[in-house]
A and B are shown apart, each in its own frame.
Chain A
Amino acid sequence: MAVKQQLHNSLVYFLAFSSGFSIMGIELLGGRILAPYFGSSVHIWGSIITVFMLSLSLGYLFGGKLSTLNPSLKRYGLIFILSGITVLPIALWAPNIMESIFIRIEDTRYGSLLASMALFFIPTVILGMISPYSIRLLVEDREKSGQVAGRLYFVSTIGSALGTIMTSFYFVLWFEVNDIIFAYCTVLIALGLIALAFHHKEPSRHE
């Protein structure tokens, strides 16, 4: 049982790490994606960071709420799969979405803010749900809840740091932007499926 518990926890930490990695990787590509339509003025990053912070904050709230209703690895996995699916439109339709905003809004501040909302809001809200949900899956007793939360933040924020540096230093040099986005989609969905597989191996755990 202890071994199984350890495996369960390692999986959750690994998934939280990956979500942190993906969030910052995608945020960084945001600058690249927006530049052709809204330029590289300082306020472009202002728009992107604002939208990511806003989405994450809402994601934390929803994720925390969701974790009170029959928490399970199955639902956890579904959050990942959903996040992967909602990242996909960034690669598929970004130019069309940005074009239509570009034509309607002259001011690049509001144009880039709206474009960031359209592209990144939904996937980032869903990715934000992962952290609080992870804590729910990890915490066994109240005494250790702070420690678990601290460790979870540590792991997911290290993931974010690595996602940032890998994407900006290397991925953009080796791959096209859309290929990187597709890779993030694939990884998120695959991780979700792994969580589902684990859920079926330990069906009675959280019910």
Chain B
Amino acid sequence: MNRYIIGLIAIVFCCSLQAKVVHQERSMYRNIVVEDDNVLRCLRFNVRTSKTNQSCMFKDDPNKLVFNYTKLLFASLLVMEEAPKNILIIGLGGGTMSNALHQIYPEAIIENVEIDPAVIKVAREYFGFFENGSVTSKVQDGRIFIKRAGLKQQKYDWIILDAFNGDYIPEHLLTREFLAEAKQILTPKGVLSSNTFSTSELYAHESATYLDVFGDFFNVTHENNGNRIILTTNFGLPSETIISSRAKELHDTLKPFGVNTIELTTFFTSTKDEKDWPSDTKVLTDQYSPANLLKN
């Protein structure tokens, strides 16, 4: 009996020793912590809660994606007719999404936009965030980048909105006006994927706002933790048969990244079939967007 207890203590002791902070800094926007354990390296924006891991990678296999939500984002590829050529990522995190996409589509232009210069630095130094002629990063507020892109008439066939985390929501990235600006820079076959964490009342407002701008959309969810990918397109939603044939096509390509496309298809739900929020829900606008108050 004692041996078990000692063994247990030894395990706890060893593992708590193993999870060590490799880097910590306070940026203008947040606390940034990089933490290592036996297998994972994780980026955190807040120290207290363990829920706020932004990005993790396997130390021995940096290609393989750790998080379900990053895997869920790949569901977007199942609604695209062809490989994306111009990708815009709002919210860098550890840069894992950008790295993975560059490996899958080396020809694609990938632009990362991140408000916090410290996050870009940490992604480069600790997460192997990769930049070259076709993969770039820019320090800017996502809304401003998209507004300017609209003025310059730039177009993207895939926009990934990953600027939300469980703690704080940039309220100006959740309004009808913003989504309309984003839609405007999508190509006719373009797809917008939004990784969000909305719960309670905000879920309804967010859903109503996306519906208002894009029409029906897909929710891609797996675990019931308030995290969902909202998948919208500029051309309506493709049918189930198209999605499952795309899943088969992409299966082998995405397997090395730990993404099972066949399994992904089972996480789709369409708002065409069910709208699980009250129909009189107020749409969020630049005039009314108390997202962080509605979240509670």
Contacts and interface: CB of A to CB of B under 8 A. Distances in A.
Contact of B143 (A35, A103, A176, A178): A35
Contacts of A32: 171, 286, 289
Interface in A161-176: 169, 172-173, 175-176
A36 B143 contact: yes
B141 A41 contact: yes
How many chain A residues sit at the interface, stated as a range, is 20 to 34
Interface stretch (B172-180, B182-190, B207-215, B236-244): B172-180
B176 to A, nearest CB: 11
Interface in B147-186: 147-148, 151, 170-172, 175, 177-178
Contacts of A177: 286-288
A42 B170 CA distance: 13
A40 B172 contact: yes
B66 interface: no
Contacts of B5: none
Interface string A104-148: 001010000000000000000000000000000000000000000
Contact of A36 (B140, B178, B288, B294): B178
A58 to B, nearest CB: 29
Interface string A9-41: 000000000000000000000001001111111
B62 interface: no
A39 B172 contact: yes
Interface residues of B, number: 25
A36 B141 contact: no
A40 B287 contact: no
A41 B140 CA distance: 8
Contacts of B294: 173
Given A41-B115, A102-B147, A172-B293, A36 B286 contact: yes
Contacts of A103: 151
B178 A173 contact: no
Given A41-B115, A42-B29, A173 B172 contact: no
A177 B28 CA distance: 27
Nearest to A180: B287
B17 interface: no
Nearest to A41: B141
A35 B171 CA distance: 9
Contacts of A169: 293
A176 B288 contact: yes
A103 B289 CA distance: 24
12 contacts: A36-B175, A37-B144, A39-B142, A39-B172, A40-B143, A40-B170, A40-B172, A102-B147, A108-B140, A108-B141, A172-B290, A175-B288
